[in-house]
């Protein structure tokens, strides 16, 4: 009988190999922690808003929190509390989104139903809400420090052109937004 061919004995695994696996797992944990931390930090400074009104032309916005606006920026803010707003938007209305037309120091004026910022017409006022309630024209004069005149090009926009909204001041500002859809 022929002798069975002997197989060479498998070499033992190098001593460093189990440690290498441990270091790989540790590296994966560290990388995952960094990514999750970056996402959490990004989320604390950003919001995604789906616009459900016709007031603005876009239906989705990426909002950067705590960023004060420049002229022409989309501004997102907490609306003031009033009986009229509660009747139209409920006890806890969602944030409003408008466009900044007037900055601190700009002059707001009315000529009939037209509202102008520094002499340029930006909106028209309506006398009544969609439910037939009277609307009060917004303030005229200089936009105070830390406040903004925010409106929309929509004919039915409910914004700074009316006293019920008024100037949007820094304490109300949630942030500025970029349209994404």
Q: How far apart are CA 173 and CA 55, in angstroms?
A: 18
The total of other beta-carbon atoms located within 10 Å of residue 60's CB is 13
Residues 136, 127 contacting (CB under 8 angstroms): no
Residues 49, 63 contacting (CB under 8 angstroms): yes
DSSP at 128? B
Instruction: Spell out the domain ranges in the chain.
Output: 47-179
Compute mean pLDDT per 10 residues along the chain, 181 residues long, and list them.
63 73 88 84 87 91 94 97 91 94 99 98 96 96 99 95 98 97 89
pLDDT of residue 39: 80
The superfamily in CATH containing domain 47-179 is Umud Fragment, subunit A (2.10.109.10)
pTM score above 0.95: no
Residues 143, 106 contacting (CB under 8 angstroms): yes
pLDDT of residue 150: 99
């Amino acid at each position: 009988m022929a002798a069975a061919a002997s197989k060479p004995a498998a070499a033992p695994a190098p001593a460093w190999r189990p440690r290498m696996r441990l270091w790989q797992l540790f590296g994966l944990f560290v990388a995952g922690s960094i990514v999750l931390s970056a996402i959490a930090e990004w989320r604390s400074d950003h919001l995604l808003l789906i616009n459900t009104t016709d007031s603005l032309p876009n239906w989705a916005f990426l909002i950067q929190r705590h960023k004060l606006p420049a002229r022409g920026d989309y501004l997102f803010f907490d609306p003031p509390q009033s009986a009229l707003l509660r009747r139209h938007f409920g006890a806890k209305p969602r944030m409003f989104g408008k466009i900044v037309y007037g900055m601190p120091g700009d002059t707001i004026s009315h000529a009939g139903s037209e509202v102008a910022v520094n002499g340029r017409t930006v909106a028209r006022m309506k006398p009544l809400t969609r439910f037939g309630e009277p609307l009060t024209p917004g303030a005229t004069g200089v936009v105070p420090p830390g406040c903004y005149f925010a409106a929309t090009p929509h004919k039915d926009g409910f914004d700074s052109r009316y006293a019920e909204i008024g100037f949007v001041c820094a304490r109300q500002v949630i942030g500025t937004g970029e349209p994404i859809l």
